Amino acid sequence: MQIDHHARLSVAPMMDWTDRNCRAFHRVLSRKTLLYTEMVVSAALVRGGARHLLTFDAAEHPVALQLGGSDPAELAEAARIGAGEGYDEINLNCGCPSDRVQSGTFGAVLMKDPQRVADCLAAMQAAAGPVEVTVKCRIGVDDQDPARVLPDFLTHVRDAGIRRVSVHARKAWLQGLSPKENRDVPPLDYDLVIEMLRAFPDLHLSVNGGIGTLDEAAAFLDRGLHGVMVGRAAYQRPADILLEADRRVFGAANPCADAVEAAQAMRPHIARHLEGGGRLDQVTRHMLGLFAGRPGARLWRRLLSEGAHRPGAGLDVYDDALAAVTQALETETQPGDEAMGEGSTAGGVPSRPVPTS
Ligand SMILES: Cc1cc2nc3c(=O)[nH]c(=O)nc-3n(C[C@H](O)[C@H](O)[C@H](O)COP(=O)(O)O)c2cc1C
């Protein structure tokens, strides 16, 4: 698999969001985009026996497993398990600032200890065999100077034999900001990431943070970046980012002509999920933003939010919502169907609190 090629566009790892059902949905919209799992804590895998967290469907390829941890031996074992499960890439999280993650000494706090990161990555790569190990990082934390810290971090990563890095182009504040604020408040510094292209010509660099449209993604690729990683926009407005991605980013045919076709293409997955004893809303909660910005968006969100969590809700609820939105699209009479934002209670954002960033 030419994973570098797929990494031209990726959907970021997002706890509570990019689970199997979400990835199945994103894969219906784009065959080419690289997808990431939620972060899986290495201790849960190695010591907690949480192997079930790794289950995925062959249709999800290319798919990368993100690990969180800071112990080289434990991460190596987790990487070995992940590679054995068939993941196309194993990624180390060095960007997550939440309290829970800091207490385990991993995530963004690792930006302060690049030698430990290098040790972890080298051990992971030795254990993962042919499966590529990568890293996702910030440009620094707290009062670090990103212009000094990022090149130093990348030097350690490269010297550990790692080639592909995704950089969330803002600092994280380990104290005082919530995980959500840490995704918005520290200013973005895309130019610093672009400068790293010259300093590290042997690295494959993806930029992440605040990228909201395919046009913006394409502009970064035009500026020489090897990849663009999109998080919230891909989740909240999946059709805007992924529906056209295969044609525009990869020069391939788009799998679906429009959002209605994508919704129809999800029926077999939903049917299998229900037959396996799953609930309808476990799939549809990731699909609430499918029609964002299009006529019928509110209706779709409302019908699915209200109907899909009811006990026994089946494909009829889904089909009714799809019929209603199809009709609204045909008549185009729905005013005020704006794209939703993070935190919107009616939107594609789960109402449950999000545990980490
Ligand atoms: C709900 C949510 C959960 C997240 N969980 C993770 C995670 O598990 N691992 C990680 O590296 N980043 C995580 N992030 C951060 C994203 O991967 C990404 O770096 C960040 O949202 C910035 O990209 P964006 O502006 O395109 O959303 C999460 C973000 C969100 C919104």
Q: Which of 96, 120, 137, 256 is catalytic?
A: 96
Name the stretches of the chain with pLDDT < 70: 1, 99-104, 333-357
Q: Is 15 annotated as a binding residue?
A: yes
- Check if 256 is active-site: no
From the candidate CATH numbers 1.10.10.410, 1.20.120.1460, 3.20.20.80, 3.30.70.260, the one assigned to the domain spanning 259-331: 1.20.120.1460
Q: Is 210 annotated as a binding residue?
A: yes
Looking at ligand 1, which residue's alpha carbon is closest to its atom 26? 231
Q: What is the pTM of this model?
A: 0.93
All structural domains of the chain with their residue ranges: 3-250, 259-331
- Other Cβ atoms within 10 Å of 130 Cβ, number: 5
Task: For residues 306 and 283, give the distance between their C-alpha atoms in angstroms, rounded to a whole number.
Answer: 14
Mutate to test the pocket of ligand 1, among 9, 10, 11, 14 (most ligand atoms within 8 A of CB): 14
The two domains 3-250 and 259-331 share their CATH topology (first three levels equal): no
- The pLDDT tens digits of the residues spanning 121-163 come to 999 999 999 999 999 999 999 999 999 999 999 999 999 999 9
Ligand 1 mean position, distance from CA 11 (Å):
9
- Cβ proximity of 12 and 210 under 8 Å: no
- The pLDDT tens digits of the residues spanning 234-246 come to 999 999 999 999 9
Task: For residues 91 and 37, give the distance between their C-alpha atoms in angstroms, rounded to a whole number.
Answer: 10
Looking at ligand 1, which residue's alpha carbon is closest to its atom 7? 14
* pLDDT value, residue 349: 34
| SS3 state of residue 194 | helix
Write the class of the CATH domain 3-250.
alpha beta
First CA to last CA distance, the chain: 29
Q: Can you tell me which atom of ligand 1 is nearest the CA of 93?
A: 11
Looking at ligand 1, which residue's alpha carbon is closest to its atom 10? 13
Residues with CB under 6 A from ligand 1: 12-17, 38-39, 66, 93, 95-96, 136, 168, 183, 208-211, 230-233, 354, 356-357
Q: b/e map of 185-202 (b: 16 or more CB within 10 Å)?
A: ebebbbebbbebeeebee
Q: Is 136 annotated as a binding residue?
A: yes
* pLDDT value, residue 345: 34
- Cα 11 to its chain centre, rounded Å, is 4
